[in-house]
Chains A and B, each alone.
Chain A
Amino acid sequence: AQSVTQLGSHVSVSEGALVLLRCNYSSSVPPYLFWYVQYPNQGLQLLLKYTTGATLVKGINGFEAEFKKSETSFHLTKPSAHMSDAAEYFCAVLSGGYNKLIFGAGTRLAVHP
């Protein structure tokens, strides 16, 4: 069965610093992986996705993630944090005959001046 583990429920960075949010997956089939962002009082929005092809995936708002099969990881990065990046981030893997999305527990990102 597919599953996702996000390391660190809270991450705090300074404005302008590198953002690194960690995600490891478990999957018995080639994984389809997603990162979502949730701002306060809103639903989740898609940041980026990996299905096949290039392992470095670029998303919205300057975020990117790299699929590393050998490490079963799909970490999310952004070179320079902005105050507006403060939100909760969820990693997810497609499961259940490729129709059900399994989410990690989420990582809350705080950005301070």
Chain B
Amino acid sequence: DAGVIQSPRHEVTEMGQEVTLRCKPISGHNSLFWYRQTMMRGLELLIYFNNNVPIDDSGMPEDRFSAKMPNASFSTLKIQPSEPRDSAVYFCASRRDGNNSPLHFGNGTRLTVT
């Protein structure tokens, strides 16, 4: 089991540029979550998908953020245009439906917007 795979591990970009973060969930997991972690706000849920369909995007900070899940094995989180306050670690996580099923996290993408 390869675990949840995120790329890139680190991203440094200039303000105004488009940023795309990628995630491959664990095979067989039908829910996928995007989280953002900062010192100030802790771990925030941005959006989650179930069976490739966005279920709750109430945590997406603003229209500059968008997420897609075109198939069961791939998701993207896009920020366009990026701003310095978007600097954070972004985590993708996946789980199998069921009360007993834990969430499995990727190692995150550390985004720095200058």
Q: Write the residues of chain A forming the contact surface with B, with a CB cutoff of 8 angstroms.
A: 32, 34, 36, 41-46, 49, 51, 90, 92, 94, 96, 98-103, 105-106
* A residues near B110, Cβ cutoff 8 Å: 41
Tell me whether chain A's interface is mostly helix, strand or loop, or mixed.
strand
Judged by a CB distance under 8 angstroms, whether B48 is at the interface is yes
CA of A6 to CA of B108, assembled, Å: 23
Q: Write the residues of chain B forming the contact surface with A, with a CB cutoff of 8 angstroms.
A: 4, 31, 33, 42-43, 45, 48, 50, 55-56, 91, 93, 97, 99-100, 102-108, 110
CA of A44 to CA of B45, assembled, Å: 14
Q: Are B42 and A101 in contact (CB under 8 A)?
A: no
Q: Are B99 and A100 in contact (CB under 8 A)?
A: no
Residue among A96, A101, A103, A105 with most chain B CB within 10 A = A101
Q: Are A51 and B106 in contact (CB under 8 A)?
A: no
CA of A98 to CA of B99, assembled, Å: 6
Q: Are A100 and B48 in contact (CB under 8 A)?
A: yes
CA of A18 to CA of B31, assembled, Å: 37
A-B contact pairs, 24 of them (CB 8 A): A32-B100, A34-B102, A36-B105, A41-B107, A43-B93, A43-B106, A44-B43, A44-B93, A44-B103, A46-B102, A49-B100, A49-B102, A92-B103, A94-B99, A96-B56, A99-B55, A99-B97, A100-B48, A101-B33, A102-B45, A103-B42, A103-B43, A105-B42, A106-B42
Of all chain B residues, the one with the shortest Cβ separation from A42 is B107
Q: Are A51 and B108 in contact (CB under 8 A)?
A: no
CA of A106 to CA of B43, assembled, Å: 9
Q: Are B103 and A51 in contact (CB under 8 A)?
A: no
B34 to chain A, nearest CB (A): 12
B21 to chain A, nearest CB (A): 14
A43 with B102, Cβ < 8 A, contacts A100-B48, A105-B42 known: no
CA of A23 to CA of B97, assembled, Å: 25
CA of A99 to CA of B33, assembled, Å: 10
Q: Are A32 and B99 in contact (CB under 8 A)?
A: yes
